[in-house]
Chain A
Amino acid sequence: MNDLPDATLMAMAADGDDSAFAEIVSRYQDVLLNFFMRKGVSYADGQDLAQKTLLRLWRYRKRYEPTAKFTTFMFLVAGQVAIDFVRAENRRRGLQEELQRTAEENTFTGRMSSPGETTVACRPPAPDGEAEERVRQTVASLPPAMRDVVELGVFQDLPYADVAEILGIPSGTVKSRMFNALRKLKELMDER
């Protein structure tokens, strides 16, 4: 099972073989975790999002065509999961602000949360080193369009054509954006 290509494992998973899918999980759990953490989310949220992506891949296993590279398919799904997460966070933030406003206007505000307090549970710190954190935070601070090409082209080592397909932009744009992004990132890293 360990040496089978991704496409074969997914075909086996589509036939209901969950041990084949377990191999996919084991191959890509860290890749996905780091993909999300370099977008600036915490370790705990990164794990949640990696899990959501893997469960969505399981749900979509029959839609995957072995003619396409599995990682292209996986990062497309991971990108959708990231977008859903950002939307949910924005909604949650909007609701928190609205609730805070109504609480301030209310007479029984004594038992409501104080300004700035959120209902998000405390997250454990990422169990990793300073160098890793520095790279992750600097990548996360790039504008999203630049960050995405570096993530897929450098960290995931995907060719321009695959990055273009995942991001829905022309290959030429990937290439020019890549240089600008790496120059910017280098500047930011040198500053830190």
Chain B
Amino acid sequence: MNDELERDLTAAGGGLLPFAESLRRAPAAHAAPGFAENVMAKVRRRKRLTWLRPVAFAAAASAAAAVALTAVVDTSAGKPSEEVLMAHQRADGSFTASSASPHVQAFAVSALARKGKPAFHALQLAVNALIRSQGADGGWGSAGLSARNVAALSAANAAGLSLARPAYLRGLRYLRTHGIAEMSAADFSREAKDALARIGTSPDVGLMHSAALASRL
């Protein structure tokens, strides 16, 4: 125990010093085996993500797309960023024309929700786009897509976007009535990582940035 506290507790009397010492000697819990390895796997994954330069994705793209992506590199410092994502948001609030990844909107909403105030308008537009595609029953057709979209609406609601709340509650009700489990933040991030791996060298900046940003816990 540090001298300062020991001196004061001795002076205070009442058995406080031996009591404080007994507290410190109390047995402690230990992290589960594999905890440190799991943390370091995430750290290494994040390191790789920061090297994920949009220009690398441009390699397999057409010459015109490559020029556009090189311009992106200049403004994004080579990292997946919400600013670049916002720059690629379409007027209707969506982020990609690609039908290859119907989950991109959920990833983008989750990424923008974490950005806070600077992305609030973009988040509003993105959530509106997500709500427009929500069915009357509160779902989006498939179990996986519904679970991801509900998780994204939950993030938008938590970020203070009140318009996301009724849609989130409708979505949650859909999940419950269909026996679909709510998606945890860790599962959501894992899904985004998988999507990122599938996207590979896509020149679609909105798609790549949203998945890369959402894959960070």
Contacts and interface: CB of A to CB of B under 8 A. Distances in A.
B20 interface: yes
Contacts, number: 128
Interface residues of B, number: 43
A8 interface: no
B36 A29 contact: yes
B40 A179 contact: no
Interface in A133-178: 135-136, 139, 150, 153-155, 157-160, 175, 178
Contact of A154 (B14, B20, B158, B181): B20
Given A108-B177, A154-B5, A22 B40 contact: yes
Contact of A47 (B23, B35, B177): B35
B66 to A, nearest CB: 28
A153 B1 CA distance: 9
Interface stretch (B43-51, B56-64, B191-199): B43-51
A135 B23 contact: yes
A131 B158 contact: no
B164 to A, nearest CB: 11
A22 B44 CA distance: 10
A166 to B, nearest CB: 15
Given A47-B32, A55-B39, A99 B16 contact: no
Contacts of B169: 95, 98-99, 102
Contacts of B8: 175, 178-179
A16 B9 CA distance: 43
A112 B29 CA distance: 37
Point out which of B8, B43, B158, B184 has the most chain A C-beta atoms below 10 A from its C-beta: B43
Interface residues of A, number: 60
Interface in B126-175: 157-158, 168-169, 172-173
Nearest to B11: A179
A21 interface: yes
A18 B50 CA distance: 14
A91 interface: yes
Contacts of B42: 51, 55
Closest 10 CB pairs of A and B: A135-B26, A29-B31, A132-B27, A34-B28, A25-B36, A111-B177, A58-B43, A128-B29, A182-B16, A186-B19
Interface of A: 16, 18, 21-22, 25-26, 29-30, 33-34, 37, 43, 46-47, 50-52, 54-55, 58-59, 88, 91, 95, 98-99, 102-103, 106, 108, 111-113, 119, 121, 126-129, 131-132, 135-136, 139, 150, 153-155, 157-160, 175, 178-179, 182-183, 185-186, 189
Given A111-B177, A112-B173, A159-B5, 15 more contacts: A18-B47, A29-B35, A29-B36, A51-B39, A55-B42, A95-B168, A95-B169, A111-B176, A112-B177, A127-B30, A128-B29, A135-B26, A157-B2, A178-B5, A182-B9
